[in-house]
Amino acid sequence: MNNFRKLVDKIKPNFLPGGKFEKLHSTFDAIETFLFVPNTTSKSGTHIHDAVDSKRTMIVVVIALIPALLFGMYNVGFQHYNAIGQPEIGFWSMFWYGFLAVLPIVIVSYVVGLSIEFAGGQIRKEEVQEGFLVTGMLIPLIVPVDTPLWMIAVATAFSVIFAKEVFGGTGMNIFNVALVARAFLFFAYPQSMSGDKVWIRTGETFGLGGGSVVDGFSGATPLGQVSTATTANVDVVNMFGEQYSLMDTIIGLMPGSIGETSIIAIGIGALILLITKVANWKVMLSVFAGGIFAGLIFNQFGPETASANLPWFMHITLGGFAFGAVFMATDPVTSSRTETGKWIYGFLIGVLAIVIRVLNPGYAEGMMLAILLMNIFAPLIDFYVVDANIKKRLKRVKVTTSERVNK
Amino acid sequence: MKLLNTKSKGVLLGPLNKNNPITVQVLGICSALAVTAKLEPSLVMGISVIVIMALSNVIISLLRNTIPNRIRIIVQLVVIASLVTIVSEFLKAFAYDVSAQLSVYIGLIITNCILMGRLEAFAMSNRPWESLLDGVGNGIGYAWILVAVGFFRELLGSGSLLGIQIIPEALYEFGYVNNGLMMMPPMALILVACIIWVQRAKNKDLQEEQH
């Protein structure tokens, strides 16, 4: 490590003003501060330092995402080998297959996003910011495993440029960057993002797996089955028509976007985020409360459709609801900043997600659109919360002054 | 004899860039979103607006001293509406398909803010020749944005230009898919924004002051 530090110090003058690679200063700075703790200290004034900086915050979120990622990899292999009729192949083969299928998506997302971030920092002559560490991990987890890599690249580039860089980079974006990438894919290439063909990878991956699917196979996601059902009640089934129990939906060995299926893996991530206080528990809790509330309302008074009759707890465990609630809604940049606002913001996300699922037959999943919509409203919520507070305090001032006059 | 003196040149060329009706004055956005999914309707729409704008500017400029001030808006509207009706009938007769694609938007040129704006701001107080140049200039300024947006939306959204397949079949076999988002109105807004972005990056005097 010491030798490495010496090497970095040796090449450093090249990147400082006047050096050979002066123009690449931002890039060098980003790599240096990523590898080593910066040794610069403040020169004037009083500064309060905390152990938490945005790099550390980002890394905690990435660590919280790891369980969902690992489980997603295993699930990809599990679905694949079950679809081609070799369920006995064993845990490690399944994991290895999923690992090879998911890893390219992660790499493409990071390479494309980070290159744009570095180029952006370079052009603006600013430090490269670390916001993409989380986004680059979120994007692979919210797409179907069979999404072509070039689509991931295009969507990542679009969202980093138009949802983030044009607004001023990390911390300035109005919308959740990963969700913008997902929305771009959803509207630009709907045939690769919906239906029942894309959720289970049936082809071979780097020579592994592959084969024809077994008879009676269907790759529809549980929510896809619910939204296309013609009867008023429907049992969500796996690819062979066997019904999923509530426990199955919590464990999450079912078709879906890579990271969204397992409530257990997401729950571990949620615990990490809550214990380290990186995510806000109010937002997380109120999203679930909103979802349960809307689910119960539809169960009681909803129209006679399969999605309205889907039990409220299944609405929470199926699809991207839990993933969105834990990792997307809690994004500190795009959610409400005021404490009361966080309750309103989260609750409305939960309600809207279920409303979109139940009332719009075109969208099997509503979490993405619900969060993006509430991202727009977050500043408005904050504005009225602050405004209400000011009015309340003004009233108090008037009361005390009038009392004084009366005396 | 010079055909255009400096002032006329500014009148004609200003709207193409620094005084563009869409990207700088932000007028006529609705039609820019609505008709630009394909290149052909964008072209036809652009040409129609150039013709209507030039003619209405000249007519109002000729009438400017006889129009009573109180009813000038009505007179302007009558002139625009007659011209729009002529263009609309002309398109129905000779280019029915495009006319069907443009549907109500040809008729809605009547309400296009750019036309009323130029009549009020320019034709009412300038001579016919300058008014003609101003009309043509603003028409082209409007049209080139439409054509640029239509070009990218059709190329990326349908893989074709003017209905002719441009992106080779081999690429589709390789896994390429047309971008469906390009066919939706929001993408027109983003493309116009990109044009504005490039334009402001190049013209320092269009940039707002930094705080």
CA quadruple B161, B165, B167, B172: dihedral sign: positive
Q: B68 in helix, strand or coil?
A: coil
**Which among A305, A331, A304 has a CA at the least distance from the CA of A134?**
A331
Tens digits of residue pLDDT in B113-122 = 788 888 888 8
Query: What are A366's strand-pairing partners?
Result: none
Query: What are B160's strand-pairing partners?
Result: B165
Q: Which helix (H) or strand (E) holds B20?
A: none
Amino acid code (one letter) for B107: G
Q: What CA–CA distance (Å, rounded) separates A247 from A257?
A: 19
- B181 vs A188: CB contact, 8 Å cut-off? yes
Q: What CA–CA distance (Å, rounded) separates A221 from B204?
A: 52
Work out the mean pLDDT of chain A and round it to a whole number.
Answer: 84
Local structure of residue B161 (DSSP, 8 states): E
Q: Is A187 on the interface with B (CB under 8 A)?
A: yes
Within chain B, which residues score under 70 in pLDDT?
1-4, 210-211
Cβ atoms within 10 Å, residue B211: 3
- A188 vs B190: CB contact, 8 Å cut-off? no
pLDDT at B1: 45
Give B-chain residues touching A187 at CB under 8 angstroms.
Answer: 180-181, 184
Question: Which chain A residue has its CA at the smallest distance from B157's CA?
Answer: A188
Q: Is B185 on the interface with A (CB under 8 A)?
A: no
Tens digits of residue pLDDT in A242-300 = 778 888 888 888 888 888 888 999 999 999 999 988 888 999 999 999 999 999 998 88
CB–CB of A185/A155 below 8 Å? Answer: yes
Structure tokens at A329: 């809604």
Tens digits of residue pLDDT in A200-213 = 887 777 777 767 77
- A187 vs B184: CB contact, 8 Å cut-off? yes
Residue from the list B175, B182, B184 with its beta carbon closest to the beta carbon of A148: B175
Q: At what angle do helices A339-359 and A281-301 cross, to 10 degrees?
A: 40
> What ipTM was reported for this prediction?
0.81
Q: Which pTM value belongs to this model? A: 0.84
Give A-chain residues touching B175 at CB under 8 angstroms.
Answer: 148, 150
Query: What are B161's strand-pairing partners?
Result: B164
Question: Which chain B residue has its CA at the smallest distance from A154's CA?
Answer: B179
- B182 vs A189: CB contact, 8 Å cut-off? no
pLDDT at B4: 67
Let me know how long chain B is.
211
Best B167, B177, B195, B211 residue to mutate vs chain A (most A CBs within 10 Å): B177
Q: Is A150 on the interface with B (CB under 8 A)?
A: yes
**Which among A60, A97, A106 has a CA at the least distance from the CA of A332?**
A60
Q: Which helix (H) or strand (E) holds A242?
A: none
Q: What CA–CA distance (Å, rounded) separates A197 from A291?
A: 28
Residue from the list A148, A154, A188 with its beta carbon closest to the beta carbon of B180: A188
CB–CB of A101/A145 below 8 Å? Answer: yes
Give me the DSSP letters along A105-169.
Answer: HHHHHHHHHHHHHHHHHHHHT-PPPTTHHHHHHHHHHTS-TT--HHHHHHHHHHIIIIIIGGGTS
Q: Cα A20 from chain centroid?
A: 40
Residues 24-83, chain A: which have Cβ within 8 Å of B? none
Best A154, A182, A186, A189 residue to mutate vs chain B (most B CBs within 10 Å): A189
Q: Give the whole-number percent of chain A exceeding pLDDT 70.
A: 92
Give A-chain residues touching B197 at CB under 8 angstroms.
Answer: 166
Structure tokens at A32: 């240096």
CB–CB of B196/B189 below 8 Å? Answer: no
- B177 vs A191: CB contact, 8 Å cut-off? yes
Backbone angle region of A304, left / alpha / beta, with phi > 0 → left and psi within -120 to 50 → alpha: beta
Structure tokens at A72: 């997603």
Structure tokens at B70: 């109180």
Structure tokens at B159: 């893989």
The nearest CA of chain A is from the CA of B26 a distance in Å of 19
Q: Is B198 on the interface with A (CB under 8 A)?
A: no
Tens digits of residue pLDDT in A345-378 = 999 999 999 999 888 877 878 899 999 999 999 9
| Residue keyed to tokens 């290159």 | A115
Q: A318 in helix, strand or coil?
A: coil
Residues 153-182, chain B: which have Cβ within 8 Å of A? 175-177, 179-182
Tens digits of residue pLDDT in A158-191 = 999 998 888 887 788 889 999 999 999 988 888 8
Q: What CA–CA distance (Å, rounded) separates A238 from B41?
A: 48
| Residue keyed to tokens 């705080």 | B211
Best A187, A189, A192 residue to mutate vs chain B (most B CBs within 10 Å): A187
Core vs surface per residue B38-72: b (16+ CB within 10 A) or e: bbbbbbbbbbbbbbbbbbbbbbbbeebeebeeeeb
| Residue keyed to tokens 């689910």 | A295
**Which among A360, A249, A366 has a CA at the least distance from the CA of A305?**
A360
More confident residue, A157 or A192: A157
In angstroms, the first-to-last Cα distance of chain B is 48
CB–CB of B191/B149 below 8 Å? Answer: yes
Tens digits of residue pLDDT in A104-138 = 999 999 999 989 888 887 777 777 777 788 899 99
Q: What CA–CA distance (Å, rounded) separates A45 from A25?
A: 27
- B179 vs A188: CB contact, 8 Å cut-off? yes
Residues 231-290, chain A: which have Cβ within 8 Å of B? none
Over residues A16-44, the mean pLDDT reads: 71
More confident residue, A82 or A66: A66
Q: How far is CA A77 from CA A9, A39, A84, A127, A316, in A?
A: 45, 45, 11, 40, 24
